[in-house]
Structure 1
Amino acid sequence: MSSIRLDRVSVQFPLYGGSARSLRNRIVSSATGGRIGSDARSRTCIEALRDIDIRIAHGERVALVGHNGAGKTTLLRVLAGIYVPQAGRVAVSGKVAPLFDIGLGMDGEASGYDNIRLRGLYLGLSRREIECRIDEIAAFSELGGFLDMPIRTYSAGMQTRLSFAICTSVDPEVLLLDEGILAGDAAFMEKAQARLAAFVARAGILVLASHSDSLLASLCSRALRLEHGRLVADGPLQQVLQPSAHPAVLGRLSA
């Protein structure tokens, strides 16, 4: 059974030479982004996540909400194992399918076909499984002869098509999704909606970062609200989406 557990997880990014711009940084951080702080070496740093405690069980569909820079993408990358926290413990049980960065696990100099193999391996598929699925992935991407070319020659939309086709060919236990991956030409995304719905249905756990209330309502029942890298609300989606949701919600629902 898939599960996610985070215990007092914190992530910091040092700002080398940041002290000279500390005033500007503090002004910017007051509106967006993590908090300005310092680490054990007295270096200026951004606290992207601070003391995050989360439990997500098999079958849950969880939304990540908050302003730009609140820590949603950082949290997704921690769950995917891309970022290692400076403090705390992360335990993710189940095969993770990260669908939030079109460049993740891709090589710009390699062909589309080679990148299907590379990203398939990254997603935990065996070489045999990849070869069995490669024709279906190629057909769904609709990239034709471009699959023989290096993906650095692709447009952003073409890379999204390829990444989407690869990622949605697996059976995920933990699906990490960002709404940005859903951007693309209208004709392709209309075709992709049914595939995405089936993909989400197969997932043991869904964690979705989005600013779209309608998208969240269609896929999620629980929400986590982040503000400046802190978890300030955790509860039923509609309750957390209310403007009145505040830290008291977190305390009441996690008690």
Structure 2
Amino acid sequence: MTASAPAIRVQGLGVRFRRNRGGRRSIMDLFSDRSRRSKPGEFWALRDVAFDVQPGEAIGVVGRNGQGKSTLLKLVAGVMIPDEGDVQVHGGVAPLIEITGGFVGDLTVRENVKLTAGLHGMSRAGVARKYDGIIDFAELGDFQDTPYKHLSNGMKVRLAFAVVSQLEEQVLLVDEVLAVGDKAFREKCYARIDELLSEGRTLFFVSHNERDLRRFCSRGLYLDKGRLALDAPIEDVLARYDADYPVG
């Protein structure tokens, strides 16, 4: 990647859903209809969204629930296809979204670490090199041969964060993961994210927690009614959001 290439480039992005199907349009719809017009029962979760994120930037995405934040994160992660526009990511992504997804209940902690890290592209040698660090971070040294389904919710979250935060991808996607776990674990997460940012990683962070947004992010994107209402320094974005939707 050249010095001038953005880590993330989003151009004219749009995604629409169908209320009467409770989700995305069918695969036949995707092939037969690329019209920009909405059909009855459809709505645009995102529309005409465009921005660049430079390598090493820390971007916070804010907005009320249902305004397209998590949809945008999934598009950047590559797990959802837009109806219009384009998303380009340079350097690969480490997705801390839906954090406990992808783990297999009947497999042990040890087996899940190898499987999940491998599915994210980590080599066997890389997994072997980082395995002890993952287990230590997750504080699961006594549970390595325990089936994943027998772990507590807190253990599952610790394991997932430990695995994904060890990936060597350049773009870190975070969706409210810091809202879970106890205080001590959150502090470990904060320290790990600080470490990744110090290495020049790019952070794309969706959160309702203004303290976390201020801690990590210098710039913000404010989504409102599926559109990008403001792209500005994080303090300006938070001030605009609070003015539009004051508490109380």
- Shorter-chain TM-score bucket reads 0.7 to 0.9
1:197 and 2:194 aligned? yes
CA pair 17-214 structure 1, distance change in 2 beyond 3 A: closer
After superposition, the C-alpha distances for 1:87-118 in whole angstroms (9 at most, x for unaligned) are 11111111211112212332233221122122
Structure 1 gap ranges (5+): 19-37, 248-255
Cα displacement (A) at 1:217: 1.2
Determine the C-alpha separation between the residues in 2 that align with 1:11 and 1:215. 28
Determine the C-alpha separation between the residues in 2 that align with 1:43 and 1:149. 50
CA pair 203-245 structure 1, distance change in 2 beyond 3 A: same
Letter in 1 for 2:8: I
Determine the C-alpha separation between the residues in 2 that align with 1:41 and 1:224. 25
Cα displacement (A) at 1:196: 2.8
Aligned twin of 2:28: none
After superposition, the C-alpha distances for 1:185-217 in whole angstroms (9 at most, x for unaligned) are 223333443223212322431111111222111
Aligned twin of 1:252: none
Aligned twin of 1:27: none
Aligned twin of 2:13: 9
Aligned twin of 2:32: none
Q: Is the 8 A contact 2:105 2:147 kept in 1?
A: yes
Cα displacement (A) at 1:126: 1.2
Q: Which moved more, 1:76-85 or 1:47-56?
A: 47-56
Determine the C-alpha separation between the residues in 2 that align with 1:160 and 1:100. 11
Among 92, 97, 116, the residue aligned to 1:95 = 92
Determine the C-alpha separation between the residues in 1 that align with 2:60 and 2:54. 14
Aligned twin of 1:70: 67
Q: Secondary structure at the match of 1:101?
A: coil
Q: Is the 8 A contact 1:13 1:48 kept in 2?
A: yes
Determine the C-alpha separation between the residues in 2 that align with 1:187 and 1:58. 30
Q: Is the 8 A contact 2:63 2:224 kept in 1?
A: yes
Q: Secondary structure at the match of 1:148?
A: coil
Cα displacement (A) at 1:163: 0.6
Q: Is the 8 A contact 1:175 1:203 kept in 2?
A: no
After superposition, the C-alpha distances for 1:61-92 in whole angstroms (9 at most, x for unaligned) are 11101111211111111100011111111111
The runs of at least 4 aligned residues of structure 1 exceeding 3 Å deviation read 38-43, 190-193, 243-247
Q: Is the 8 A contact 2:16 2:43 kept in 1?
A: yes
Determine the C-alpha separation between the residues in 1 that align with 2:100 and 2:144. 16
Query: Equivalences for 1:31-110 in 2 at 5 Å?
Result: 42=39, 44-110=41-107
Determine the C-alpha separation between the residues in 2 that align with 1:13 and 1:91. 22
Cα displacement (A) at 1:44: 1.6
Q: Is the 8 A contact 1:232 1:246 kept in 2?
A: no
Determine the C-alpha separation between the residues in 1 that align with 2:185 and 2:218. 27
Query: Equivalences for 1:104-119 in 2 at 5 Å?
Result: 104-119=101-116
Determine the C-alpha separation between the residues in 2 that align with 1:203 and 1:118. 27
**Count of matched residue positions in the alignment of Structure 1 and Structure 2:** 228
Structure 2 gap ranges (5+): 23-34
Aligned twin of 1:130: 127
Determine the C-alpha separation between the residues in 2 that align with 1:96 and 1:105. 16
Aligned twin of 2:157: 160
